[in-house]
Structure 1
Amino acid sequence: MNVLEGMRWGEAQLLDKNIDNARFDADMLLAEVLKVSRDKLYFERDRQLSNEEENAFKHWIVRRSEHEPLQYILKSQEFMGLPFYVDERVLIPRSDSETLVETWLELVRQEEKQGRARIKVADLCTGSGVLAISMAYYYPKAEIVGSDLSSDALEVARVNAGNLGVSVNWREGDFAVSIRGECWDWIISNPPYVSMADYVQCAPEIFREPSMAFLGGQDGLKFYRRLAEEAKTLLKPEGKILLEIGWDQGEAVCGIFQKKGFATQVFPDLAGRDRVILAR
């Protein structure tokens, strides 16, 4: 087959298996096989695929047809304009989470104008490390720790930090356990916040990702309660917490922290949905 035939064949195969964004995914897989950008495919539409290229492409289409996420096949996902390695050991970064990093950067730069420059940050449930690494990349003056219960996830995070040339202190531990006994300017987290009821309704691709990265207890609020319970022992007097939340969890999460004496503020994502909560 030539490139154009490959694009059409791949799309048809994925559509037959009810894969969302079938054309985009087929194009991206073919582009990766050919080592070109997606927009170059049409310029090379008459090029014949070698036997090796055709076999590799067809193998990847089969994998995607079985609802394996595109990012796991390509081993990559962009986040905050940076390339990250991902595989089955970690949650695939979502663009929604960029709201957390962007909000943090804005708040920290405001504080910098008031004379606070060197800050100590803990990123809990760091996974592939995208939050911690993005913060370190765009604000290198911060001292950043990334913590996760999964040693496999931390291996991926270390690879990403090395690839992007940033320094993050990685720690293994259950949620806040690895940062106890220290005082932090910021605690950042995109914790598991999907309820059991919502999880069972998810797209098939979700079940290929680590379930521990999604499930936040029966109602999705387990980790917010855990952090609120001990947050005051972890923060400096002016310390703050910045957390990603589900679009419908703003009121509930604010209530959890307000009961522990925190003032809260909710920030929306680009779609206008509640996405990040600040507790101080």
Structure 2
Amino acid sequence: MNILEGMRWGEKQLLAKKVDNPRFDADILLAGILKVSRDRLYLERDRLLKQNEETAFREWISRRSEHEPLQYILQRQEFMGLVFYVDERVLIPRADSEILVEKWLELVHLDEARGLKPNTKVADLCTGSGALAISMAHYFSGSKVVGTDLSPDALAVARQNGVNLGVAVEWRQGDFTAPIREEKWDWIVSNPPYVSRDDYLLCAPEILREPSMAFLGGQDGLEFYRRLAEEAGFLLNQEGKILLEIGWDQAESVGEIFQKRGFATQVFPDLAGRDRVILAR
């Protein structure tokens, strides 16, 4: 088949399996096989696919037909302008989480303008692919960033991303705050698991292919926030702060959890105007 026939065939296969955006996904997968941009497919639409290219494309379409996430097949995801390696060992970084890094950078620069020390010591809990930790270290060179995760498999991916992107982050394996309890921190930042059990069962099949521990936040989705609020006072420096991603409907509940522990909180929206990030100090 030629390139145009391949795009049409891929779209038809994915449409039959009720995959969202079947033409886009087919195009992106074929572009990935050919190592060209999507627009190049249309410019070269009459070119015949080589046998190995067609075989690989059919395999990738088969995987996508089973609702394997596009990012796992391509083994890449862009986040904060950086390209991260991802596979089934880690949560796929979402654009929503970029708000967390952007807000952190804004707050750090405000502190710097007020004369606070620029050598910011940051712990990124539940680091997964390392997207948050690496992005913070990349865009604020004065920071010392530690990324932690319970999963050694996730940390292997994070380490690989640190090497690939040439960014220095210290990686520590352990449960929750265990890897950071012996020190005091300027910042604790995290995109924690915050999906309730009931909501998780309603997720799209692609999400169910990602590590469940990266989503499930207990029965009501708030378990991580409760645990962190209990320990935070012992983990932070005097001017220390916590910045966390939250679900769109969790701002009030998470705010109350931290306020009961003596923290003042502030909520920031994402680009769609939904509550997305909470600051506790």
Determine if the alignment matches structure 1 residue 44 to structure 2 residue 44. Answer: yes
* Residue 10 of structure 2 corresponds to residue 10 of structure 1: yes
Task: Compute the TM-score of the two structures, normalised by the length of structure 1.
Answer: 0.99
1:207 and 2:202 are equivalent in the alignment:
no
- TM-score w.r.t. structure 2 length? 0.99
CA distance in 2, matches of 1:38, 1:184: 44
Q: Percent identical across equivalent pairs? A: 74
Is residue 60 from structure 1 mapped to residue 60 from structure 2 by the alignment? yes
Superposition map of 1:220-239 within 5 A: 220-239=221-240
For 1:23 and 1:256, how far apart are their aligned partners in 2? Answer: 45
Task: Identify the residue that residue 182 of structure 1 maps to in structure 2.
Answer: 183
How many residues are matched?
A: 280
The aligned counterpart of 1:84 is: 84
Establish whether residue 155 from structure 1 lines up as the match of residue 137 from structure 2. no
Residue 12 (structure 1) shift: 0.9
Counterparts of 2:113 and 2:21 in 1: how far apart (Å)?
A: 44
For 1:35 and 1:233, locate their aligned partners in 2 and report how far apart those are by CA, in whole Å.
50
**Counterpart Cα distance in 1 of 2:38 and 2:175:** 41
Residues in 1 aligned to 2:83 and 2:252: alpha-carbon distance in whole angstroms: 34
Secondary structure of the residue aligned to 2:58 is helix
Distance 1:102 1:4 in 2: 40
CA distance in 1, matches of 2:187, 2:38: 39
Deviations 1:69-93 (A, max 9, x none): 0000000000001000000100011
Paired residue secondary structure (1:187): strand
1:39 & 1:107 partners in 2: Cα distance? Answer: 39
Q: For structure 2, which runs of at least 5 residues remain unmatched after alignment?
A: none
Displacement of 1:207 in angstroms is: 1.2
| Structure 1 unaligned residues grouped into runs of 5+ | none
Shift of 1:24: 1.1
Distance 1:217 1:39 in 2: 44
Aligned to 1:20: 20
**1:120 paired residue number:** 121
Find the counterpart in structure 1 of residue 244 from structure 2.
243
Q: Which amino acid aligns with 2:76?
A: S
Q: 1:157: how far off?
A: 0.2
Cα deviation for residue 218 of structure 1 reads 0.1
